[in-house]
């Protein structure tokens, strides 16, 4: 990257003849100083506009506003899904993963992604925000989006309730130098995990929804890469 900038001087050589032939040039006055910049200031200014309050609805391909996300989510979770789908903790209704603007030239539409733990399907619901209706619905197994905060919490609880919690506690002690005394103060996120090679302990991950936790405690990260939490099967496995 940036090579052209670096080597740009080379271009000047070719132009010299042309310049002499024309012989019309004058001292180029330096650009007027940037408004507000003191002499010798290195960085010119950019504007710093007031963002104002959040609009109810976005324009064009703007990100969904919080009101639009809420609305899209309400429409996406149909009565049928509310009744038959299950979330990560086994409660009725699908797990809400994310909502995104659909890049189109028409009106504003949202893609809402849900995960149904009853069927292990990723569901994409397309919502016409202007018309307040569900326009398309797709679902497939074996596909995953990043984990929701609720899924991460659920996975941590599963791990702490599992016999492998001892390995979590060892990792905690090794990273922080103190005994694990509860999950308060932990900062937890997760990667979705899909089995690559034939590791029998986690072979179902992919068809199942599995997470690999990243836990920060007292400014240190725990070494937990070998522990996989299968949210669909509600089990914890150790990579061999």
Partner 1 sequence: MTYRKTAGAAAALLTVASLGLAGTPAAAKAPVAVAQCAASSTVKETLPNGTTWQLCWRVQDRAGLVLDDVFVSSKRYPTPVQVLDSIRLGQLNVPYDSGETEYNDLTEYGFGGSNLETLGGEDCKGGSAREGSDGGPEARRRKVLCVSAEPSGLAYRLKDYNYETGADKLYSKQGHDLVLRTISKVGWYEYVSEYRLADDGQISVRLGATGDLSPGDYVKADRGWPIGKGARDYASMHYHSAIWRVDTNIDGKGGEKVEQYDTKTDGRGSMAAKLKTSMTKIDKEGTFTKANRRWWRVVSEASKNKDSHKRSLELVTGADDRYEANPATTPDVTFTEARGCEKFATDNADPQCKTMKTILDYVKDKQTLKNPVMWVRVGFHHVPRDEDQSPMPLHWQGFDLLPRDFTDMNPLTPADRNGVNGQTDN
88-127 residues near partner 1, rule: CB under 8 A: 96-103, 121-124
Size of the site for partner 1 (CB under 8 A): 93
In the complex, minimum distance from the CB of residue 97 to partner 1, in angstroms, rounded to a whole number: 7
In the complex, minimum distance from the CB of residue 195 to partner 1, in angstroms, rounded to a whole number: 11
Q: Is residue 237 involved in binding partner 1 (CB under 8 A)?
A: no
C-alpha 173/C-alpha 179 separation (Å) is: 5
In the complex, minimum distance from the CB of residue 177 to partner 1, in angstroms, rounded to a whole number: 14
Q: Looking at residue 185, what DSSP letter applies?
A: T
Q: Looking at residue 10, what DSSP letter applies?
A: H
Residue with the two structure tokens 């080379």? 10
Residue 32: C-alpha distances to residues 39, 43, 44 (Å): 11, 14, 11
In this chain, which of 118, 192, 207, 233 binds partner 1, going by CB under 8 A? 192
Q: Is residue 200 involved in binding partner 1 (CB under 8 A)?
A: no
Which is closer to partner 1, CB of 136 or CB of 157?
Answer: 136
Q: Is residue 56 involved in binding partner 1 (CB under 8 A)?
A: no
Which is closer to partner 1, CB of 34 or CB of 132?
Answer: 34
Q: Which of 115, 140, 118, 82 is nearest to 192 (CA)?
A: 115
Contact between 208 and 120 (Cβ < 8 Å): yes
Give percent helix, percent strand, percent coil of the chain, each to the nearest 5: 25, 25, 50
Token couple for 24 = 């019309």
C-alpha 16/C-alpha 125 separation (Å) is: 62
Q: Is residue 59 involved in binding partner 1 (CB under 8 A)?
A: yes
Restricting to residues 12-41, which ones interact with partner 1 according to CB under 8 A? 12-28, 30-32, 34
Stretch of 80-88, 162-170, 218-226, 230-238 contacting partner 1, by CB under 8 A:
218-226
In this chain, which of 92, 135, 136, 218 binds partner 1, going by CB under 8 A? 136
Restricting to residues 143-182, which ones interact with partner 1 according to CB under 8 A? 143-146, 148-149, 175
Token couple for 146 = 């990043």
C-alpha 147/C-alpha 206 separation (Å) is: 13
In this chain, which of 11, 38, 163, 177 binds partner 1, going by CB under 8 A? 11
- Given strand 109-116, what is the order of strands in its sheet? 95-101, 109-116, 121-128, 133-141
Which is closer to partner 1, CB of 160 or CB of 214?
Answer: 214
């Amino acid at each position: 990257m940036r090579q052209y900038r670096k080597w740009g001087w080379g271009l000047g050589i070719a132009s010299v003849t042309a310049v002499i032939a024309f012989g019309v040039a004058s001292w180029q006055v330096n650009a007027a100083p940037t408004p507000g910049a003191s002499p010798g200031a290195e960085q010119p200014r950019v504007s710093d506009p007031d963002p104002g309050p959040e609009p109810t609805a976005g324009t064009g391909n703007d990100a969904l506003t919080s009101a639009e996300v809420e609305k899209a989510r309400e429409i996406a979770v149909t009565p049928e899904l509310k009744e038959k789908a299950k979330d990560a903790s086994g409660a009725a209704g699908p797990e809400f993963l994310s909502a995104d603007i659909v890049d189109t030239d028409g009106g504003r539409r949202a893609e809402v992604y849900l995960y149904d733990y009853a069927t292990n399907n990723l569901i994409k619901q397309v919502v016409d925000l202007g018309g307040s209706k569900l326009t398309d619905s797709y679902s497939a197994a074996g596909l995953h989006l990043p984990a929701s905060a609720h899924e991460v919490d659920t996975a941590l609880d599963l791990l702490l309730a599992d016999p492998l919690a001892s390995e979590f506690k060892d990792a905690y002690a090794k990273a922080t130098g103190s005994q694990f005394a509860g999950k308060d103060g932990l900062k937890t996120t997760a990667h979705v995990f899909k089995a690559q090679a034939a590791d029998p302990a986690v072979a179902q991950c992919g068809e199942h929804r599995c997470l690999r936790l990243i836990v920060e405690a007292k400014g240190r990260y725990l070494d937990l890469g070998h522990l996989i939490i299968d949210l669909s099967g509600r089990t914890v496995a150790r990579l061999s």
